[in-house]
């Protein structure tokens, strides 16, 4: 006769083992959650700063390619420039002809010659603030169209401490980022110190 396989009764998880496993899982989650949250916030800050840097470089390039003015301004709707220096709700890049009206013109969706090229809304809860509320414009040679009162423009990108915090905060865990645009049209990027304010100084 062929020997029969013996079927051993399966052993389930006891209540004590389940409680221990859940307790260990809770401890791991408690230890990992703060660092994961900080990592995610740092990613959002760097991503928002890179999106703005990329759009400024794009605006400069398009100004040269089109031989026209290309501007960037804060906009939460994509249809008009905001009157405040807060870029956290988004911004637009748009082109318009060089003419007697000059540079730094606010976007007008239905005006002849105006063309919206790009609209960007940063992800996450970000505070993105410029040193002033003016339109930023690049000329035909890629230069920043500065004025005697406005030689440079800077932006500071920080994570918001809470959903309704308009300024954001820089910390050791989640440092902020500053972008500085000079008269030639080139950009500098630097990391904010933990004790620096997230509102840039007016130029």
Domain boundaries, the chain: 15-197
User: Do the Cβ atoms of 59 and 53 come closer than 8 Å?
Assistant: no
Banded model confidence at residue 203, pLDDT cuts 50, 70, 90 = very low
Per-residue pLDDT reduced to its tens digit, 135-194: 999 999 999 998 888 999 999 999 987 666 667 888 888 999 999 999 999 999 999 998
**Percent residues over pLDDT 70 in the chain:** 81
pLDDT of residue 188: 96
pLDDT of residue 12: 63
Mean pLDDT of 47-54: 97
Class in CATH terms, 15-197 = alpha beta
Enter the pTM of the model: 0.79
Per-residue pLDDT reduced to its tens digit, 74-97: 999 999 999 999 999 999 999 999
């Amino acid at each position: 006769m062929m020997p029969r396989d013996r079927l051993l009764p399966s052993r389930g998880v006891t209540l004590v083992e389940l409680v221990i496993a859940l307790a260990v899982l809770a401890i791991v989650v408690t230890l990992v959650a703060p660092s994961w949250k900080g990592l995610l916030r740092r990613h959002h800050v760097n991503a928002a700063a890179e999106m703005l840097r990329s759009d400024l470089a794009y605006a400069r390039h398009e100004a040269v390619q089109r031989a026209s003015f290309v501007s960037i301004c804060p906009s939460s709707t994509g249809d008009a420039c905001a009157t405040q220096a807060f870029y956290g709700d988004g911004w637009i890049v748009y082109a318009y002809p060089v003419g007697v009206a000059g540079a730094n013109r606010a976007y007008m969706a239905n005006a002849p010659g105006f063309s919206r090229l790009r609209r960007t809304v940063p992800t996450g809860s970000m505070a993105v603030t410029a040193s002033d509320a003016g339109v930023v414009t690049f000329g035909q040679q890629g230069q920043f169209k500065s004025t005697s009162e406005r030689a440079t423009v800077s932006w500071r990108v920080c994570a918001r401490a809470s959903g309704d915090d308009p300024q954001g905060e820089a910390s050791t865990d989640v440092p902020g980022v500053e972008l500085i645009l000079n008269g030639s049209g080139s950009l500098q990027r630097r990391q904010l110190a933990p004790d620096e304010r997230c509102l840039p100084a007016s130029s």
